């Protein structure tokens, strides 16, 4: 089995969200909103709304 090439992944968040991320892990905005964990939105709402409604083609299993 080939060893995967490591990648760098960056996530921008507010400091007050770190305890929740440490406890629950990262999740999508929809879940964070539904569970009351996203207290302050820092992203561009127009861009995020556009992405929320975009269909992403993916085969079975994602």
Hey, CA dihedral for 50, 45, 31, 34, is it positive or negative?
negative
Mean pLDDT computed over 25-52: 86
> Is pLDDT above 80 for 61?
no
Mean pLDDT computed over 15-42: 86
Rounded to whole angstroms, what are the CA distances from 50 to 24, 35, 39, 47? Answer: 26, 22, 21, 5
Instruction: Look at the pTM and tell me if it is higher than 0.75.
Output: no
* pLDDT, greater one: 59 or 9: 9
Query: What is the pLDDT at residue 62?
Result: 66
């Amino acid at each position: 089995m080939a060893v995967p090439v490591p990648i760098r992944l960056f996530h921008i968040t507010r400091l007050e969200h770190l305890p929740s991320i440490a406890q629950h892990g990262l999740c999508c905005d929809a879940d964070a909103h539904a569970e009351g964990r996203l207290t302050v939105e820092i992203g561009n709402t127009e861009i995020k709304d556009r992405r929320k409604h975009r269909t992403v083609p993916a085969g079975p299993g994602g």
